[in-house]
Structure 1
């Protein structure tokens, strides 16, 4: 039962991540050249996704690595799952920061369990939009602890310019580059670095 629950949660988690994939606006492409302006716009809401996560996920080549990861993890059959979930979805550029050998190992059949663990670490149960996350950070005195579907914790912090970062279990930091992409089973925030449990 634990394996089924984990697989279902993983699939639903990835489904929400894939909803971001179909969004036509990639924050990395639209980001201003000035770093301060880019940080200030990091939590600007993005247009809502339409259709199921499966339908919208296949429409954006900027998330092809995420789609490949879902396939390698064998989670395709569960992508229409319920929710709601909040997904911190890495872009292709985020995956490129992971060493090629590590990516290859994770995408191999022997890496399926580790890949699932990483993918579900990007998902938080419930619908946490940018405004709610900002409130949680303020209520936490400058940070909010987010327990993921995988069971680990991400620490969210807000910068003075309104940008939001996530610190993972290994001390790595990722920045939200696009917020509030609506999906039928949750909300998605694009991030610039893969977080690791």
Structure 2
């Protein structure tokens, strides 16, 4: 009976190790909050990249964020109907606007108010930590697919630091393009 807690703890550690052994795309596929975005890397040719060694930081928009995005951007990613062609330039650019090269954890902003990074599509992204300790992603104006002169509403990080073998995932409440 004494060994039962140790066995349970070992099981939890083994389960956590198994989750870390999966590449980011597999981890995203196992999260029901991300079901709307999982197919976009496959459709746009980015899944091969995401199966690579990375490391990557993925700012994965949740299902609610995908539902709020204009239909034109959804069509760029998935086509206008199942089996339809997607935009071969804008589709990958939209996916790359949600990715940063390297593994960036929330703690990088923990002691600072803000940090600026460049997404894989070249857009600058300001990451700030509010007084409420919530992380916010603010795409800067300009850049391809970033809204030009229009400002994009900040995205709040719904959940930070989801580990995967080739990077880390942060679930965002908005898509980072318009």
Deviating runs (4+, > 6 A) in structure 1?
A: none
* Aligned with 1:69 (options 35, 40, 60): 40
The 1:110/1:180 distance shift into structure 2, 3 A limit, reads closer
TM-score (norm 1): 0.66
1:167 alignment counterpart: 138
User: In 2, are the aligned partners of 1:179 and 1:189 still within 8 Å (CA)?
Assistant: yes
State the shift of 1:123 in Å: 1.3
Give ranges in structure 1 of 5+ residues lacking alignment: 1-46
* Aligned with 2:161 (options 176, 180, 184): 180
* Aligned with 1:126 (options 102, 107, 127): 102
The 1:132/1:72 distance shift into structure 2, 3 A limit, reads same
State the shift of 1:104 in Å: 2.4
Q: Secondary structure at the match of 1:162?
A: coil
Pairwise CA RMSD: 2.1
Q: How does 1:10-89 map to 2 (within 5 A)?
A: 49-53=19-23, 54-89=25-60
Distance 1:62 1:133 in 2: 25
Q: Secondary structure at the match of 2:110?
A: helix
**1:136-176 Cα shifts (integer Å, max 9, x gaps):** xx2xxx32111112111101111111011111134321000
Give ranges in structure 2 of 5+ residues lacking alignment: 1-15, 80-84, 141-146
Distance 2:56 2:50 in 1: 12
1:33 alignment counterpart: none
1:195 alignment counterpart: 176
Distance 1:79 1:85 in 2: 8
1:94 alignment counterpart: 65
Distance 2:39 2:109 in 1: 29
User: In 2, are the aligned partners of 1:72 and 1:112 still within 8 Å (CA)?
Assistant: no
